[in-house]
Amino acid sequence: MELSNSTKNSVEPASVHVGKNAYLAVDHQWDSELFATAGAQVDIWNHNRSEPINSFQWGSDSVISVRFNPGEPNLLATSANDRSIMLYDLRMVSPVRKMIMMTKTNSIAWNAMEPINFTAANEDGNCYSYDARKLDEAKCVHRDHVSAVMDIDYSPTGREFVTGSYDRTVRLFYYNSGHSREIYHTKRMQRVFCVKFSGDGSYVISGSDDTNLRLWKAKASEQLGVVLPRERKKHEYHAAIKKRYMHLPEVKRIERHRHLPKPIYKAAALMRAMSDARKRKEERRKAHSAPGSVTTQPLRRQRIIKEVE
Amino acid sequence: MPETKRKHRDETNHRRGHSKPNKNARKKKKTGPRLPSSLQKELDRLNPTTSIEIDQDIDSADGDAAERELLPQDFYEYEEQHAEEESKKNKRYDPGSVDQLQYDLPIERSDESEDEIIQSDDDNVDDDDDGMERTGDAADGDSSEEGDGRHTRMLQGITGMPSEAFEGKKKRKMKDDVIPELYPESEYNPSRDVVDGDGQISIDDLLNPLQDNPGFGKLRKRIQQIENNSKAIHAPLRTADQAKVERKAAYEISKKEVTKWQQIIQRNREAPTLLFDENIDLGFSTVGAIASEFEPRTEFERKMAALVSDDKVMEAYKKDAYDAWQVSVEEEKDRQSRIAKMRSLLFRHEMKAKRIKKIKSKTYHRLLKKDRLKTEYSNIQMDPEAAKEFVMKQERLRAEERMTLRHKNQNLWAKRILTRGLNSQDEGTRAAIADQLQRHAELTRKMHSMKDSSSSSDDSSDGDDEDAGSDQEMGSKVVGKAIEKTMKVIQDDHETPKSGLLSLPFMRRGLEKSKKAAVEEANLALQEYKDSKKKLENSVGSEGPEATSISGRRVFGASKTQISDAGDKVKSDYNYGSSDSEDDLRASKNGNIETQGSNVLQKDVNTDAVLIQEDTDNHQESVFKDFNEIVKNPGPKTTYEVSLFVSDTWKKARNRDEKGTNVKKSAMPSGPVRQDIKDTEKEVEEDSDTDSEGQMVDGILTSGSKLSYELPSQEELIRQAFAGDDVEDEFEKDKMEILNVENPEPEKPVLLPGWGQWTHVQKKKGLPSWMLKEHENARKKREEAIKKRKDAQLKNVIISEKLDKKAEKLHTKALPFPFTSKEAFEQSMRVPIGPESNPATAIGPLNRPEVVKRPGVIIKPIQFEEVNPHEKAEQRRGDKHRSKKNKGSGGRSMKKTTA
């Protein structure tokens, strides 16, 4: 059978690695030959071998995401269907720690500039930033999405990350802020299932259920193309001015104002009302019971069930 | 070592042992498919190796750690595991499997833990030597073994309990007196003593039969060593637990590994800026760099390259170039200094021009203009060229004026004012109109004067008072001529062209219009001439030297409308009592030259009458004359108007006394005017229409009479200066107003029938008490609020307490995040960051964003570098600052986090 032109031109894979189970996630080490696949188990592969060089299994549920630590290439984080987040160390050739949360973690991203920190995109609409050394408490809870966060990726600068959500929006967060700094949405974009930062940290790519990939600017108001030094200085000055007067209510309002799709706006309002009510109730309960008998966990700890050794 | 030891022991066992094969046989009897013992024996005899193979099987199968931990404790435990063995046993008849086993053996052995394998190993080794012997042994040992088996069977039969029960008993016992050994001796058949509970087999028992062998001494020594060092081996952990422990350890290690980043992370987080755009080679950036890479390929290019790279040619070229550009040092220096001087001059000039351009002061510009005019004037005086130029310019101006009639009430503004009526305008507007007209008259009239009298002395425009007698005569002549000419022009103008473009209806209309304007103008000029002529005559006739001082206020250039407007008003008042002249004045308003002329004549007549009359109080006459002068020459200033008004009132009073007498002075001696100003002042005050007017008159008069006036004391002066306005009162009023705005007075309760109470009750009792109470409360509250004000005690100050809601937006209610003290925050806000208030070198660091990166350049993940943890943070920060400075000045020293 003769191959048509188009098939001749089609890209051939450099190598094919065959495994026993379906794969749910894959990630490659930065600047090296190893890559990891996740599915029924976590396999570590080398480019030059047809068999995985390591396989890890801890628990019986399938692993849904895997991510290498870019700064510390031997560290590996996965999340599994059993609501767990697991850490692996390839130097020790073993899983290292497991932490179970109340809801499933859909994806994990390591901070490229801070190899001890990673952020987990959770099914409950929040993202949780953890210190890999202290898994009993999140460093920061990033809220704003009104539905499950499906994917997350850190900017190579380590100062912000992008999340894609089931609520049909893409959001950008600072690595240490509780709320997003930017939201991207279009009428036609459906559920977002994957997001990525570009290598230079100035673009964001999102893939959604409407079968489209979308390329966004990481800074929406940034000027594309060549920027002359004088122009750049002017931009910098304006940015500095804005930053300086950010605390003024009017400036803050203008800077933070974003147009939201109606469903998201309403859902956010609803969620806020619910959480307020919960808080109120808790406060009252506390006020009406013996001191110390009712304790509340901070949100950073609330969603963590346990840490497994 | 232990391996060899064990080997030895095994050897001894084999030498000695008749038991092993028997044991195997018995085992099979127990748990395998129940073959009769005799049959089993037969099988063993037929195929002695199989037993060994089975042993090996067992060994390999028992590699499980879980079993391993049980094995050393109990000999009999092993027997329970025979299920597997039996499965193998079934396979035994499969020749393939046997082959495979035999083949696999060495490989498997390498993987298995050693203690069990050695056994099989030995078996293998000894197979050949002992094979025959063993079969014999097995036959010999049968009796005892069988007896053993029989015993258990017997027990089973009696009690009806399974054999395990008995074994369990034994097991328990064995557990008690187990001697921990390196080597689990599970294979060995327990002796009858053990089964009976008599004792146990010691190593010595086993060794004894070996005494004759050659290697015995060595063996014994080893065994002694082992005995001395014997220790108990603990059971290995369960796999799960083991993995857990492993993970825990691994976590600790990786935690420690990862912690090395702490310092770097902290440093980066504290850094004001992260730079990601360093050490980037974007390839050739300059044309020169690209050109240097050029390689000739074609024939032509090669030829060119050969020429270019030819040394001789290059040398010649360079030399030429050098010669052409060679300049002496002095010349160059000279040139440079010249250029520098030039530049500095230009720069200064530019700066000065900029500064002057920015000045907004009207006074300054007025002075500047005056200065400019002065220099121009002096230039004209000094330089004939300049004079010529000036004349040309003036000529041009006049021509323009004639053409455009710009100042002839032509523009929209003036037209509008006129349609609305000049009388209804305020004084400023009237003055402006008058001014404009005056300017127009100046510009147009000068033409004649310049033409007629070639002398450049501007007799009219500035109202300069240098009218000598002869000049006046000359002037009257000139004026007469002018009148004649104008009349002629007016008559001439009536001819209109009958054909051509100008005969077209719209052109004709336009012409007529312009003609009308010209006639009007001519009329005006005529009247003016007549006026001036009359004045000239007057001055020639009577005034003499005194006239010069008075004529200081006289303006020649007063145009007709000016006179008819301003003058009309005055005259109507002027002729208050005499109604006969009223008509004439009206007529003059119409612009009729004749009536105007008659009016003037009438005035003259009136003057004569006054002359004849010889009044007693001369001084008053003179003052009046003075006023009249003013009336006659209304300037652009408002003060004139005011003074006119005053004079009118004054005249009214006078006219009452001298009915029907119109006054015109000019012939009166005006010497005593100044001396008697005080008197007039008094009189004016007596008349006193309004304060301000009186004062105005006062001001004018005093300013005119400085010579004879005694200087009042300072206090008096101030009092006089502020006599009219009570500043303190005003201020208090202002303050009260502000108070009322900021703390409004409560509304008085209004009686609305039926509101608050029943109507009839209201009628009887008046306002309901609660209303009064409320009002009272509100009043009290207000008073308190006023008392609490910051400016309550400060008499001369108003401090507004009004809050500006718009300004409120620009204030913070709380300190923004990183700041902890108000001072620090305010300090930080006070430092400007803009390019206007900072040098160019400082702006970069001040405005640098948190992350500096370049689009299109891939940022690599962080790489480890040693950070000295003992280094103080401040030092580091200082370093950073320094390096940043370097960067700002062009150096690229800073390397933060990127590779």
pLDDT (tens digit per residue) in A229-239: 999 999 999 99
Nearest to B680 by CA among B707, B651, B638, B656: B651
Which residue, A292, A303, A286, A269, is CA-closest to A123?
Answer: A303
Q: Report if residue A3 sits inside a domain.
A: no
Query: Considering the domain boundaries, does residue A261 fall inside one?
Result: yes
- Kindly indicate the confidence band of residue A174, based on its pLDDT and cuts at 50, 70 and 90: very high
Residues B167, B75: contact at Cβ < 8 Å? Answer: no
Q: CA-to-CA distance for A198 and A218, rounded, in angstroms?
A: 9
Strand partners, A45: A35
What pLDDT is recorded for position B161? 62
Beta bridge partners of A55: A43
Among B258, B274, B816, the residue with its CB nearest the CB of A247 is: B816
Domain range enclosing A88: 13-308
CB-closest option in B251, B261, B861 to A70:
B861
- A96/B247 CB distance under 8 A: yes
Asked if the Cβ–Cβ distance from B258 to A133 is below 8 Å, we say yes
CB B782 within 8 A of CB B771: no
Please give the pLDDT value at position B454: 41
The nearest CA of chain A is from the CA of B65 a distance in Å of 20
Q: How many CB atoms lie within 10 A of CB B890?
A: 6
Radius of gyration of chain B (CA): 67
Tell me what the mean pLDDT of segment A275-298 comes to: 93
Q: Are B446 and B459 in contact (CB under 8 A)?
A: no
What is the rounded distance in angstroms from the CA atom of residue B311 to the CA atom of residue B621?
111
Please give the distance of CA B123 from its chain centroid, rounded to a whole number. 91
Q: Are B872 and A214 in contact (CB under 8 A)?
A: no
Residue A1 lies in a domain: no
Phi-psi region of B856 (alpha: psi -120 to 50; beta: other; left: phi over 0): left
Beta-carbon separation of B810 and A233 below 8 A? no
DSSP B2-62: HHHHHHHHHHHHHHH-SHHHHHHHHHHHHHSS---HHHHHHHHHH-HHHHHHHHHHHHHHT
Does pLDDT of A150 surpass 90?
A: yes
Q: Residue A93: what residue type?
A: V
Low-confidence spans in chain B with pLDDT less than 70: 1-149, 159-199, 279-285, 446-480, 482, 486, 489-505, 507, 533, 535-710, 868-899
A-chain residues near B835 (CB < 8 A): 233, 237
Cβ-defined contact of B258 to A116 (cutoff 8 Å): yes
In a domain, A263, yes or no: yes
* CATH number, residue A205: 2.130.10.10
Nearest CA in chain A to B834: A237
Name the residue among A89, A114, A158 with its Cβ closest to that of B254: A89
Rounded-to-integer distance, Cα B190 and Cα B7, Å: 20
Q: How far is A7 from B79, CA to CA, in rounded Å?
A: 66
Nearest to B246 among A72, A94, A236 (CB): A94
Which of B746, B646, B754, B756 has the alpha carbon at shortest distance from B695?
Answer: B646
Beta carbons of B622 and B629 less than 8 angstroms apart? no
So what's the pLDDT on residue A249?
86
Largest CA distance in chain B: 194
pLDDT recorded at residue B296? 86
Helix (H) or strand (E) holding B387, with range, is helix B384-404
CB A38 within 8 A of CB A28: no
pTM comes to: 0.46
> Could A237 and B834 be called an inter-chain contact, meaning their C-beta atoms sit closer than 8 Å?
yes
Q: Give domain status of residue A38, yes or no.
A: yes
| Phi–psi pair at B688, nearest 5 degrees | 35, 85
Assess A123–B contact: CB distance below 8 Å, yes or no. Answer: no
Give the pLDDT score at A14.
87
- Inside any domain, residue A2: no
pLDDT given at position B38:
66
- Our count of domains for chain A comes to 1
Task: Count CA atoms within 13 Å of residue B106 on its CB side.
Answer: 2
**Tokens 């350049």 belong to which residue?**
B857
Residue B775's identity, in one-letter code, is H
Which secondary structure element, helix H or strand E, spans residue A87, and what is its range? strand A84-89
The tokens describing B775, both together, are 């009002």
Cβ-based neighbours of B531, under 8 Å, separated by 6 or more: B558, B563, B600
Query: Distances from the Cα of B183 to the Cαs of A306, B5, B199, in angstroms?
Result: 44, 10, 19
Please indicate if any CB of chain B lies within 8 Å of the CB of A261: no
Query: ipTM score here?
Result: 0.92
The residue of A85, A133, A251, A309 whose CB has the most chain B CBs within 10 angstroms, and thus the best one to mutate to test that interface, is A133
Residue A29 lies in a domain: yes
Q: What is the pLDDT, as a whole number, of residue B324?
A: 73
Burial of A281 (0-12, 13-18, 19+ CB in 10 A): exposed
Could you tell me the two tokens for B767?
A: 């306002």
| Interface mutation vs chain B, best among A236, A238, A252, most B CBs within 10 Å | A236
Regarding predicted confidence, which is higher, B66 or A182? A182
Contact (Cβ atoms closer than 8 angstroms) between residue B666 and residue B538:
yes
For residue A160, what are the β-bridge partners? A174
Considering the domain boundaries, does residue A105 fall inside one?
yes
d(CA B180, CA B342): 111
Q: State phi, psi for B274 to the nearest 5 degrees.
A: -105, 130
Q: Which residues pair with A142 in a beta bridge?
A: A127
Find tokens 């690209």 and name the residue.
B290
Contact B268 A113 (CB under 8 A): yes
Lowest mean pLDDT among A186-200, A248-262, B254-268, B579-593: B579-593
Residue B699's contacts (CB-CB under 8 Å, 6 or more residues apart) are none
3-state secondary structure (DSSP) of residue B551: helix
Average pLDDT, chain A: 92
Residue B749 DSSP SS3: coil
* Contacts (Cβ under 8 Å, ≥6 apart) of B510: none
> Strand, coil or helix: what is A202?
coil
The verdict on a CB contact (< 8 Å) between B809 and A250 is yes
- Residues A106 and A149 sit within 8 Å (Cβ to Cβ): yes
Confidence of residue A35 (pLDDT cuts 50, 70, 90): very high
